[in-house]
Every structure is written in structure tokens, then in C-alpha cells.
């Protein structure tokens, strides 16, 4: 009986909590889509909360190490031996790998969720970016197949490591924790959010481009209030430079609210109340916020970054420089019918993303190895 093992512990970057949530959604779907006589196994670190699943096809096993030790320990190939002979997948490059023989029986598929470590390493922090790149290099060398969730990330990966490396595109879905729950309105009230607002996750700086959104507010006083969402764990470069929070210019303080998500469920609640998601950033991470916005029917105004453009397609508007961005921002709220149409397109676009489809494709990938 074949079993597909999913590594639950992600690379410890600013997206680690949402990657853990995504792993739970994926393992459920792997269990639901498992072929006859196949099963799924979720590997968690010692001390991590142990999830429970209703499916008898899913088993949870605990590693003998705590999550904090894994980034160091798993850089050694010898630690991969307990996984010999298994089908293994990880949503991030952090997993144990080693050189194997052709008849080993092990199959390792590795997701590379973004290209920030070589495109914009300053956002991750120099040390963290180096470790991330080392894991990616080893995956390129030793994994059976590399997986990305967009063609844009696949192209970036091949540009960095060679066009002949085996890369497959497997679209993911918004983590359930990023979708609005029954208490979404209560959460927004607790965070003191207005009834009408535009949401952004932009941050200060040349790459974060929060100033693009601020400039739009200055040019069009009638625009709705802006809510700036700080993540549970912001990008290190942003966090270190802007503690304790985003600094709002004095002339905009009455029009901007800065909130920090207390837990993942807050993100879904905040997205659910937004009229528009403004994403001027020159980078895109894994894209889970964009996927959740689509699923909530929230249109996206973005800067044309390849990953964002591919995820959003016609459910958003692209504006590649500040003048165009501010003009499109204002136009969308002059033309409410256009904004409504984009919302419908967002919901329609979101139907193309599901964990069941991702899991089925993952099983198919391993069947073809």
C-alpha cells in the first residue's frame, strides 16, 4: 500500500503559520483523493499541536525533534534515511533529502513557493535568504520533481538553475484559515474596522510601495478608508525597520487604519469586509492572500508582478507605475459597476483553485515518477 507523506513543518519565514495551515488543508485533500489501497501521513515536529482527522486514511506521526531544530538538522543528508522508500512531499523547500540509488524506492517532490530569496533577498533578511537558497539548491539536485504554484515562479526557478530542471506547476488554494468564518463580522468589530474600506498588505520601502496607496488617497479625497494589514510575522526587513507598526503620515491619519492580524482567522474576516485589495508591491510571496481575496469576491489592484498577475488574471486591474496605480484606484470607485463586475470575476476565478485538485495532481505526479 503506497502512502504519501506530507511534511507539516515549513521553512521558518514570515509565511510559516499560513504554510502550516495550508499543509492541513492539503493532507485532508490527499486523504480524500487517495487511490484505492493508498493512504496519507502527516509528519509533525515534537511539541507541535497534533491535528485530528476524520478520515481513516490519514495518519499523524511525530518527529523526535522540535520544529526549531529542523532547519539545522535537515541540512544533513543522513537525517533523510528514516524516509527512505517513501513518497514524500513538502510545501516548502525544507525537508530532508540525500543522494539515493535508482532502486531506492523513495520519491521526493518539493514545492518552491516563491523566488524572493534570489529576486529580493533583502526582504527575507540575508541569513534567512541564504538558508532558503541552500535548501532550494539541494532540492534542485536531489528531488525527483520540483513544484511551483505558478508558471511565473517556475520560470524564475529555471532562470536561476537552468531550463532543464524538472518543474511542474501545481496550483494551490486559499487555506481554510484565510477564509471568513461565521464570526467574521464580530472580528471586524473587535478590530474597529469601518463598514467600507480598501485593504492593503503593502509595506513601506522601495519594494513594499505603501507610498503608492498613500498617494492615491491624497489625490482623491473621496476614496474609502484604507486598512493596512500587518501580517502575523512581517517580512524581516520591514519588521526591523518599522517597529512597532507602519507609520502613517500626519495628513492621512484620519483616513488610514493599521491593524495586525491576531491569528490567521482575522485575515479572512478582514478580507471579507474589503471592497478592494490594493497590492502595489514589487514582489509576491506564495500568493495565499490573493487566493483568499478571490474566494471572498474581492477584486485586486496590483502592480503587474508576474505571480500576482497570473493568479488574479481578469479578476483585477494591473497598474505598473505610481501614476497609473493612483488613477486606476480612483477610477474603480468612480465606476462602482466595474468594481462589482470584478468582484463577480474574482469569485469565478476562485473556482479554478481547490485543494482537492491540487491533491489529485500530486498523486498523479508521484504515480508518473
CATH 3.40.50.2000 fits 177-350, yes or no: yes
Give the cell for residue 2: 503506497
CA distance 97 to 82: 11
Cα separation, 263 vs 242, whole angstroms: 21
Spatial CA neighbour of 60 closest among 43, 83, 82: 43
Contact partners, residue 45, CB within 8 Å, separation at least 6: 8, 9, 62, 63, 65, 66, 67, 70
Q: CA-CA distance, 275 to 225, in Å (whole number)? A: 10
> Residue 285, Cβ neighbours under 10 Å: how many?
22
Compute the distance between CA of residue 48 and CA of residue 274 in angstroms, rounded to an integer.
Answer: 33
Question: What gap in Å lies between CA 343 and CA 332, rounded to an integer?
Answer: 12
As a whole number of angstroms, the distance between CA 38 and CA 19 comes to 24
What is the secondary structure of 287-349 as a DSSP string?
-HHHHHHHHTT--EEE---HHHHHHHGGGEEE--SHHHHHHHHHHHHH-HHHHHHHHHHHHHH
* Domain boundaries defined on the chain: 3-173+354-368, 177-350
pLDDT value at residue 96 = 87
Tell me the three state secondary structure of residue 129.
helix
How many Cβ atoms are within 10 Å of 369's Cβ, its own excluded?
A: 11
Q: Rounded distance, CA 265 to CA 268, Å?
A: 5
The CATH code that applies to domain 3-173+354-368 is: 3.40.50.2000
Dihedral angle sign, alpha carbons of residues 239, 273, 280, 357: positive
- CA atoms of 234 and 203, how far apart (whole Å): 9
DSSP secondary-structure letter at 247? P
Instruction: Write down the pLDDT at residue 242.
Output: 44
Set of cell numbers at residue 168: 511542474
CA distance from start to end of the chain = 17
What are the b/e assignments for 300-318, b being 16+ CB within 10 Å?
bbbbebebbbbbbeebbbb
Q: Which residues contact 268 (CB under 8 A, 6 or more apart)?
A: 177, 178, 179, 180, 181, 184, 292, 296
Alpha-carbon span 63 to 79, nearest angstrom: 11
Domain 3-173+354-368 and domain 177-350, same fold? Reply is: yes
Element (H, E) at 25: helix 16-33
- Provide the residue-wise pLDDT of the chain in tens; the chain has 369 residues: 689 999 999 998 888 999 999 999 999 999 999 999 999 999 999 999 999 999 999 999 998 889 888 888 887 665 656 676 689 999 999 988 877 766 667 799 999 999 999 998 988 888 889 999 999 999 999 999 999 999 999 999 999 999 889 899 999 999 999 999 999 999 999 999 999 999 999 988 899 999 999 999 999 999 999 999 987 655 555 555 444 468 899 999 999 999 988 899 999 999 999 999 999 999 999 999 999 999 999 999 999 999 999 999 999 999 999 999 999 999 999 999 999 999 999 999 999 999 999 999 999 999 998
Residue 278 has, within 13 A of its CA and on its CB side, a CA count of: 34
Amino acid at each position: 500500500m503506497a502512502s504519501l507523506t506530507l511534511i507539516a513543518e515549513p521553512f521558518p519565514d514570515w509565511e510559516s503559520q499560513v504554510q502550516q495551515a495550508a499543509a492541513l488543508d492539503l493532507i485532508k485533500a490527499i486523504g480524500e483523493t487517495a487511490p484505492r489501497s493508498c493512504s496519507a501521513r502527516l509528519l509533525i515536529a515534537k511539541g507541535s499541536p497534533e491535528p485530528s482527522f476524520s478520515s481513516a486514511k490519514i495518519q499523524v506521526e511525530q518527529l523526535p525533534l522540535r520544529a526549531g531544530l529542523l532547519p539545522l538538522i535537515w541540512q544533513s543528508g543522513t537525517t533523510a534515511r528514516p524516509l527512505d522508500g517513501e513518497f514524500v512531499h513538502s510545501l516548502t523547500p525544507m525537508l530532508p533529502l540525500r543522494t539515493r540509488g535508482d532502486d531506492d524506492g523513495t520519491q521526493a517532490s518539493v514545492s518552491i513557493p516563491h523566488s524572493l530569496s534570489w529576486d529580493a533577498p533583502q526582504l527575507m533578511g540575508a541569513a534567512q535568504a541564504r538558508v532558503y537558497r541552500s535548501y532550494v539548491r539541494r532540492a534542485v539536485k536531489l528531488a525527483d520533481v520540483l513544484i511551483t504554484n505558478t508558471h511565473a515562479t517556475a520560470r524564475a526557478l529555471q532562470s536561476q538553475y537552468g531550463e532543464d530542471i524538472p518543474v511542474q506547476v501545481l496550483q494551490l488554494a486559499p487555506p481554510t484559515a484565510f477564509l471568513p468564518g461565521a464570526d467574521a463580522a464580530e472580528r471586524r468589530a473587535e478590530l474597529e474596522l469601518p463598514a467600507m474600506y480598501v485593504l492593503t498588505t503593502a509595506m513601506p520601502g522601495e519594494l513594499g510601495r505603501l507610498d503608492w496607496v498613500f498617494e492615491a488617497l491624497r489625490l482623491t479625497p473621496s476614496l474609502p478608508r484604507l486598512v493596512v494589514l500587518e501580517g502575523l510575522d512581517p517580512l524581516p526587513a520591514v519588521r526591523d525597520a518599522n517597529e512597532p507598526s507602519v507609520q502613517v503620515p500626519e495628513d492621512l491619519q484620519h483616513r488610514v487604519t493599521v491593524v495586525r492580524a491576531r491569528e490567521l482567522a482575522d485575515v479572512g474576516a478582514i478580507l471579507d469586509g474589503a471592497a478592494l485589495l490594493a497590492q502595489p508591491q514589487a514582489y509576491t510571496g506564495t500568493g495565499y492572500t490573493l487566493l483568499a481575496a478571490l474566494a471572498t469576491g474581492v477584486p485586486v489592484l496590483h502592480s503587474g508582478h508576474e505571480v500576482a498577475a497570473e493568479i488574479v488574471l481578469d479578476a483585477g486591474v494591473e497598474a505598473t507605475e505610481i501614476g497609473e496605480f493612483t488613477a486606476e484606484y480612483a477610477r474603480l470607485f468612480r465606476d462602482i459597476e466595474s468594481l462589482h463586475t470584478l468582484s463577480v470575476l474574482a469569485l469565478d476565478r476562485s473556482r479554478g483553485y481547490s485543494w482537492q485538485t491540487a491533491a489529485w495532481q500530486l498523486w498523479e505526479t508521484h504515480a508518473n515518477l
